[in-house]
Amino acid sequence: MKKILIFCIPALMFATSCKDLDDYNNLNPKAATVVPGVSLVSNAQRVLANTVNTPDYNINPFRFYVQHWAATTYPDESQFIIETRSINRFFWDPLYRDVLSDLNEGKKIITADAVLDPKVKANQLAAVEVLEVYAWSVLVNTFGDVPYTEALNADNVLPKFDDDAAIYADLATRLDKAIGMFDATAAGLGTGDLYYSGNVANWVKFANSLKLRLGMNYADVDPGKSKTMVEAAVPNVFTSNADNAKITYLNALPNRNQLYESLVQSGRSDFVGASTLVDPMVATNDPRLPIYFKPVAGSATFKGGTAGAPNSATNNSTPGAALENPTLPGMLLTYSEVEFLLAEAVERGYAVSGTAAQHYNAGVTASILEWGVTAAAAESYLAQPAVAYATAAGDWKQKIGTQKWIALYSQPTQAWTEWRRLDAPNLVKPAAAISEIPLRLTYPTTEANLNTTNYQAASSAIGGDVVTARIFWDKL
């Protein structure tokens, strides 16, 4: 039984009083009383990478939405049933509670550090700002209008929802400010930086590559703003796979890759490749096929399952052995994505050097190299009429969108965003789906129940809290 100590201060010393020491009994003498700001940033980086990349269908069902994978025993999420496991809340909560809250608090601690070198402080704060912009953009891309200006305030537990386009405009301003704060001659976040180990030059490239991504998201709603952002970012974006924004996981709990935890550690076989992806990869002899997927058990054949239906793990191709590596990096933004964005920029008439075909080829090649396949294999793949930019089927959106969809195999959240934005490839909703392929996640029930007035206003503003309501940039 826990002892509760009571002591009384004699009246002759002060006023008669008694104090309960229960709080002192609960103190952990080994626990830190002040958390370093960089430690909070580290945790935010880990949770951010986990949330956008996990295959856990309780959190991130987007591999089903873009039909990279199909389900085996439990097809609900591949049929777009969101509320049974509160997927929307389990995606929403980590981004607000663990990512943005930690970044916000880390920023306060770093700002208040009176002994930190001013240039180092500026670099750390700039990196935090880039991470915040990234996380906010994911929330907007997923839900549309979200709490922003009144969020993360303990004194206001019922924040209003801000317009998604207005949030994006502010994010662009914040990102420009962060880029201007970086000084590559000074140190950054140091070893606590799980993405770049404090390398400020890499953060500059990451920030500009993120600006390129956000700028291209404006292309169909504000071409002028899109062109300005993209052209300003291009000189300082990623130029090789060495620049990729990623977290390198460890071969020990709790910091293993989320794919390993779901595919191996769970002891389950919940996923197979969807025929939507497997079939075209087979048809074009895609060198990534035996990396993305395993052959059907006991054969050399690759076979995809049916999206939205229960499938047999024995009779279909399951996710590849490469995905079972506990230290497989978790990607947030890659050189391959940058090159596809540049190909699109050329097609839209932006002042970007090179041809669309050159950037397209570079994007495909970067993806293939990222998975450890040779440049020669990439060259052979690109030489096929069904893959070559000049002869592949469809317009430039179809060509770029299809190859980008394949390349974003390990980035489900971004793959879903790019599919919605480019409308390529032409995905058809599963026969058993309860709705069209979601264009957004509905708001968490907790918001509807606890923040009702603001939830109702937000739902009305976006045309209803339904999966077919479009994010502001999704116009075509």
pLDDT at 29: 52
pLDDT tens, residue order, the chain (476 aa): 333 333 233 333 333 333 344 444 555 554 445 689 999 999 999 999 999 999 999 999 999 999 999 999 999 999 999 999 999 999 999 999 999 999 999 999 999 999 999 999 999 999 999 999 999 999 999 999 999 999 999 999 999 999 999 999 999 999 999 999 999 999 999 999 999 999 999 999 999 999 999 999 999 999 999 999 999 999 999 999 999 999 999 999 889 999 999 999 999 999 999 999 999 999 999 999 999 999 999 999 999 999 999 999 999 999 999 999 999 999 999 999 999 999 999 999 999 999 999 999 999 999 999 999 999 999 999 999 999 999 999 999 999 999 999 999 999 999 999 999 999 999 999 999 999 999 999 999 999 999 999 999 999 999 999 999 999 999 98
Cα 247 off chain centre by: 12
CATH 2.40.50.140 is the classification of domain 37-239+327-332+443-462: no
Question: What does each C-alpha distance from 136 to 48, 172, 289, 378, 385 come to in angstroms?
Answer: 11, 11, 33, 35, 40
Indicate the Cα dihedral angle 252, 369, 422, 347, nearest 10°: 150
Question: What does each C-alpha distance from 269 to 262, 279, 314 come to in angstroms?
Answer: 9, 21, 9
pLDDT at 12: 31
Distance CA 439, CA 146 (A): 15
Q: Are 342 and 359 in contact (CB under 8 A)?
A: yes
Query: H or E element: which one contains 271?
Result: strand 271-273
Is the peptide bond preceding residue 254 cis, with omega within 30 degrees of 0?
Answer: yes
Distance CA 247, CA 196 (A): 8
Q: Tokens 């801000």 sit at which residue?
A: 162
3-state secondary structure of 74: coil
The per-residue b/e assignment along 433-470, b for 16 or more CB within 10 angstroms, e otherwise, is beeebbbbbbbbeebeeebeebbeebbeebeebebebe
pLDDT at 34: 67
Distance CA 354, CA 290 (A): 32
Q: Are 63 and 69 in contact (CB under 8 A)?
A: yes
pLDDT at 26: 53
